[in-house]
Chains A and B, each alone.
Chain A
Amino acid sequence: NAGVTQTPKFRVLKTGQSMTLLCAQDMNHEYMYWYRQDPGMGLRLIHYSVGEGTTAKGEVPDGYNVSRLKKQNFLLGLESAAPSQTSVYFCASSYSRVVETQYFGPGTRLLVL
């Protein structure tokens, strides 16, 4: 039981490049989330999904897109990376409602030059 895994662990991009971050969970959770963590700030929700085939915007969705084609996977895409997207990205999942315990992945550190 690996829990929540994220790929890659670290990435450097140039401004304007695109990339996809992959999150996978093996706990059969319905809800999945993408957060970003910036220095001196708490985690902020980018997008989330309440089930396979669904996605919804969170607090800071601009510049990101997501897809949930399979229940166990949640992809976060950056179409045209900007330096402001330099951050640590965390994926999380929960069994059902938001107030249930969320299980976090180890994070992806992204640097946009």
Chain B
Amino acid sequence: AQSVTQLDSHVSVSEGTPVLLRCNYSSSYSPSLFWYVQHPNKGLQLLLKYTSAATLVKGINGFEAEFKKSETSFHLTKPSAHMSDAAEYFCVVSDRAMSGNEKLTFGTGTRLTIIP
């Protein structure tokens, strides 16, 4: 079984300060992990994904995430927030099950607010 927990439903940071969005996961198999972003009234867009290569994954718009197996975490970070980063962020996990019956499990989302 797989699950994902986003530890904060809402995060507020000032423009120019670092961003940290936390995600813990549970997986029975070797997981694939994703971060998607959803801007208001838009569909979801992939920020980055981890699929068992490098544990530090770089994505678009200066975001990156680090896969830590010992902590079962995949936190999303950005060194300096920009006003355009204001959005909803979803952490997503997928088991690469032996049966091939893969499915995505979405977290409940973290709303990021940027303070001017």
Contacts and interface: CB of A to CB of B under 8 A. Distances in A.
B43 A45 contact: no
Nearest to B95: A99
A43 B106 contact: yes
Place the interface of chain B in its size category.
20 to 34
B44 A98 contact: no
A97 B42 CA distance: 24
Place the interface of chain A in its size category.
20 to 34
Contacts of A90: 43-44
Given A106-B42, A106-B43, A41 B94 contact: no
B46 A101 contact: yes
Contacts of A92: 43-44
B96 A105 contact: no
A36 B107 CA distance: 13
B108 interface: yes
B71 to A, nearest CB: 21
B36 to A, nearest CB: 8
